[in-house]
Amino acid sequence: MDFHAARQNMVESQVRVNDVTDAALQVAMRHIQRERLCAPSQAFGAYGEVESPIAPGRVLMKPRDISKLLQTAEPKAGEAVLALAAPYAAAVLQHAGLTVTAQEADPRVVAVIEPYLKELGVTCVIADLKAPAGSGYDIIIVEGAVAEVPAAWLKALKVGGRLAVVVKDGPVGRARLYLRIESGISERDVFDSAPSTLPGFTRAPSFEF
């Protein structure tokens, strides 16, 4: 399979047509080998309009969704990023000149993604996703949906820092941007999205007596 050609076609047919105009993101997405961040047996589908499996329970977000989410975060070269369960976002942002820490909780995912991310200079950390590694980040990005945003994620942002994540408690979610300001947190919805929910981030069932 010609992965290079598939990569260029992905940008043209799934990224640019969905109003992703950030030039640095487009350049990075034309370069990053997405097929090296999914399960080897699934590499053939890495550039399709599908979620690509990484390991049991985990997938890469569709190119359209992750590119729009990345642009929502307004990344700038030199900024510090925490990529939570977001290996493709980590690779793209590192290529765009940001300094990225990729945090994962599942060793099976790490076994797939770490070799390529290390080649790119991304720092990889294994820890509970609800407990961010470090603080003072300009950007936190999450490659999967959550029913609720942990308060610890917002606390890990510096003032002026942004969290980009899809919040979903049903079939369709909303990509949401959180901004840490001096007085607290502001938030706004950006676009509809329906990625798979990250393991451990569904809403706990309520019980009625």
pLDDT at 1: 85
- Series of mean pLDDT values for 10-residue runs along the chain (209 residues): 96 96 97 97 95 96 98 98 98 98 98 98 98 98 96 98 95 95 96 95 66
Residue 191 has which token pair?
A: 């676009």
pLDDT at 45: 95
Query: What is the number of other CB atoms lying within 10 angstroms of the CB of residue 194?
Result: 15
Geometric angle at alpha carbon 84, from 63 and 122, rounded to 5°: 85
Q: What is the pTM of this model?
A: 0.94
Cα 195 to Cα 23: distance, rounded to the nearest angstrom:
25
Q: Which of 92, 14, 99, 7 is nearest to 50 (CA)?
A: 14
* CA-based max dimension of the chain: 58
Q: Which of 124, 94, 102 is nearest to 32 (CA)?
A: 94
Three-state SS string over 148-190 comes to CCCHHHHHCEEEEEEEEEEECCCCCEEEEEEEEECCEEEEEEE
Angle between helices 3-10 and 23-31 (to 10 degrees): 160
The architecture CATH gives domain 3-193: 3-Layer(aba) Sandwich (3.40)
How far the first Cα of the chain sits from its last, in Å, is 57
The answer to whether the Cα torsion of 94, 12, 33, 177 is positive or negative is: positive
Cα 116 to Cα 174: distance, rounded to the nearest angstrom:
30
pLDDT at 205: 61
Residue-wise pLDDT tens digits, 81-104: 999 999 999 999 999 999 999 999
pLDDT at 202: 86
Residue-wise pLDDT tens digits, 15-37: 999 999 999 999 999 999 999 99
In degrees and rounded to multiples of 5, residue 43 shows phi and psi of -60, -30
